[in-house]
Amino acid sequence: MRPARAIAATGSLAVLLTATVAGTAAAQPPEKGTIDDSFTRVEEDFCGSGQDVEIATTVQGRYQVTLHGPDGVPYYLESLRVEETLTLLGDEPRVIASSVDRVLNKDLHVVQEGDGTLTIAFLATGASTLYDAEGTPIARNPGQIRQTINIDLNGTPDDPTDDDVTLVSVDKESTGRSDDYCEALLPLLGS
């Protein structure tokens, strides 16, 4: 999986995880829910091509938060399907590519540091495939990474919107094939 994507995925992890920190330590059934989100952004000078590309993203999946141990430390698990459509902007916008990612993010170890921060070692694993406009695969990126992050709750464990997430370490580099998506996309941009 793409490391940048894994780091971005921690955003949803942080929001849902910190929302449960204030919960009681008593044994409870896991909190479960669904994720369904869509958004669009424009990447200027996409892949250094000098051209702007609109990326329309749809994220669907499920999550679960389970409290562990006598202190009720929350552990997070999510399974996602992320679809993106890339449109070259200009006088005549045209779809140039799409991608489908299947991702599993799982907390491996969570420590409440006692200073209003959490340290989380997590696994992100899955497969990503990039397709041209005709639906032919042109790049792939399966595998997994393991990282450790720190989340500063900023004194408000019930409010994940003010949390600061910092990458502490990359514990395991991306495994498997890691095709360069920009290299695969540049010919489609006319660059």
Question: Cβ atoms within 10 A of the Cβ of 109, count?
Answer: 12
How long is the chain? 191
- Alpha-carbon distance of 79 to 34, in angstroms, equals 10
Structure confidence at residue 87 (pLDDT): 97
Dihedral, CA atoms, 12, 41, 167, 169, nearest 10 degrees?
110
Query: What's the pTM value of the predicted model, to 2 decimals?
Result: 0.78
- Alpha-carbon distance of 190 to 177, in angstroms, equals 26
Average pLDDT, the chain: 86
Structure confidence at residue 29 (pLDDT): 84
Distances (CA, A) of 101 to 77, 88, 129, 133, 183: 17, 21, 6, 17, 18
Residue 16, pLDDT above cutoff 90: no
Q: How confident is the model at residue 65 (pLDDT cuts 50, 70, 90)?
A: very high
Structure confidence at residue 64 (pLDDT): 95
